[in-house]
């Protein structure tokens, strides 16, 4: 999304700095629940939405002319989770999603050539290997049994291919168990979600990858593309369209795995066995706040396990801390955010925290290891695969 300077300044001027965006809805629970990982962790006003907007104002007005450490930290140590906007729009008529404003701020900064080294590194890896982790080898799995020309295409994503392959494996097994023929791209390139979240929209790499993935998917003949990664789904659905790569114009449907499975459950009445597991569901930011998908993962998950909800859920879910390029550039902050989420999950008495996003799983798993938590960290598709 490219916002005009006037649009941005208007949004900045309309922030009255009440900071209600930093806490979850208070009434009627009357519980004080922070909502902004960045502000809560770093403390300075620069890390809360109102302060961050002031920095953007100074950037636009030419008051800030050099890339200080504080600038890069304040601008990039935010997961763009969008919780601030969800809260703000409940008590105001805020016009622009704050995450989009902050992404635009990054775009402005990257145009000036200022960015964290970690993001430069990712860009270089993507350029060199076509994936965000710089992996030279292609994804391989004994469960991968694609059918050329199938109606369904599974877009696996870099994180499920190279860091949490159990999610990809589970999804492949689900296709198999349900008798769904699927294909994968022969050359799946990074969707560039992480680069766009980091403000690299204007780089050639992003444009090149959008073109490649769009053409490859269109040429595959697939009618439905299934994603286990909400970041990839959001990027292909929303960001690609802004670059003229609009899948809806080609009649291609983009679905998250939980939407795809929910549809099959409703159409076919799948035989899902109950598992002896009490789970709590963590809403991934891209899936929930960005795409409005809250019910489908819960419906799929509840077919197999008992769900016990956390205090902060859905629009007001506490972010796991890994998105927006934070995991790569500010890992301590990312892991701290996830540990906060684990504490909340433990309060529910659940055996497992279940998400629907490889990024969330990876970071929550790192946090569980760091904190010595006994909680299992799983993805919805892993549970469903077990229950089929």
Q: Segment 11-40, which members bind other proteins (CB under 8 A)? A: 13-14, 16-20, 22-23, 25-28, 30-32
54 binds other proteins (CB under 8 A): yes
In DSSP terms, which residues pair with 182 in a beta bridge? Answer: 152
Q: How far is the CB of 25 from other proteins (least distance, A)?
A: 7
332 binds other proteins (CB under 8 A): no
264 burial type by CB count under 10 A (0-12 exposed, 13-18 middle, 19+ buried): middle
9 binds other proteins (CB under 8 A): yes
CB 82 within 8 A of CB 31: no
Q: Is 253 helix (H, G, I), strand (E, B) or coil?
A: strand
Distance CA 27, CA 38 (A): 23
- Rule CB under 8 A: choose which of 2, 5, 44, 186 binds other proteins: 44
In DSSP terms, which residues pair with 152 in a beta bridge? Answer: 182, 224
Which residue lies nearer to other proteins by CB, 77 or 191? Answer: 77
Which residue lies nearer to other proteins by CB, 106 or 209? Answer: 106
13 burial type by CB count under 10 A (0-12 exposed, 13-18 middle, 19+ buried): exposed
107 binds other proteins (CB under 8 A): no
60 binds other proteins (CB under 8 A): no
Q: How far is the CB of 180 from other proteins (least distance, A)?
A: 43
5 binds other proteins (CB under 8 A): no
Which residue lies nearer to other proteins by CB, 73 or 262? Answer: 73
How many helices and strands, by DSSP H and E, does the chain display?
19, 8
Helix ranges restricted to H, the chain: 5-13, 37-42, 49-60, 69-76, 83-91, 98-111, 117-129, 158-162, 165-178, 193-197, 204-220, 230-234, 240-242, 257-268, 295-302, 326-329, 331-347, 358-371, 380-387
- Rule CB under 8 A: choose which of 3, 36, 74, 338 binds other proteins: 74
Place of tokens 């009490």: 278
Q: How far is the CB of 56 from other proteins (least distance, A)?
A: 9
Q: How far is the CB of 33 from other proteins (least distance, A)?
A: 9
The residues that touch other proteins, with contacts defined as CB under 8 A, are 9-10, 13-14, 16-20, 22-23, 25-28, 30-32, 43-46, 48, 50-52, 54-55, 57-58, 63-64, 66, 68-71, 74-75, 91-94
């Amino acid at each position: 999304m490219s916002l005009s300077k006037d649009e941005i300044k208007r949004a900045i001027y309309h922030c009255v700095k009440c900071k209600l965006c930093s806490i979850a809805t208070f009434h009627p629970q009357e519980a004080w629940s922070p909502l902004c990982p960045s502000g809560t962790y770093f403390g300075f006003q620069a890390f809360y939405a109102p302060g961050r907007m002031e920095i953007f104002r100074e950037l636009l007005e030419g008051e800030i002319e050099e890339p200080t450490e504080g600038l890069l930290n304040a601008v990039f140590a935010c997961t763009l989770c969008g919780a601030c906007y969800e809260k703000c729009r409940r008590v105001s008529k805020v016009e622009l999603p704050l995450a989009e404003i902050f992404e635009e701020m990054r775009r402005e900064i990257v145009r000036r050539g200022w960015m964290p080294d970690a993001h430069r590194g990712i860009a270089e890896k993507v350029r060199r290997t076509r994936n965000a982790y710089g992996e030279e080898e292609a994804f391989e799995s004994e469960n991968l049994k694609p059918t050329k020309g199938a109606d369904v295409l599974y877009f696996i994503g870099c994180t499920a291919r190279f860091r949490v392959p159990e999610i990809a494996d589970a999804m492949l097994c689900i296709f198999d168990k349900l008798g769904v023929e699927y294909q994968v791209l022969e050359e799946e390139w990074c969707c560039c979600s992480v680069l766009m979240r980091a403000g690299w929209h204007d780089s050639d790499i992003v444009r090149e990858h959008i073109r490649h993935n769009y053409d490859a998917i269109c040429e595959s003949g697939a009618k439905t593309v299934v994603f286990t990664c909400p970041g990839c789904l959001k990027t292909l659905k929303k960001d690609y369209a802004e670059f003229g790569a609009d899948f809806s114009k080609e009649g291609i449907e983009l679905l998250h795995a939980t939407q795809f499975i929910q549809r099959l459950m409703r159409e076919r009445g799948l035989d899902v066995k109950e598992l002896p597991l009490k789970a709590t569901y963590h809403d991934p930011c891209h899936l929930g706040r960005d795409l409005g998908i809250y019910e489908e993962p819960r419906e799929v998950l509840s077919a197999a396990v008992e769900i016990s909800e956390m205090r902060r859920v859905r629009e007001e879910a506490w972010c796991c801390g890994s998105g927006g390029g934070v995991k790569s550039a500010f890992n301590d902050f990312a892991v701290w955010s996830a540990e906060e989420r684990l504490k909340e999950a433990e309060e529910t008495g659940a055996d497992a925290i279940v998400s629907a996003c490889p990024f969330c799983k990876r970071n929550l798993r790192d946090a569980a290891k760091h904190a010595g938590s006994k909680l299992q960290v799983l993805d919805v598709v892993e549970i469903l695969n077990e229950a089929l």
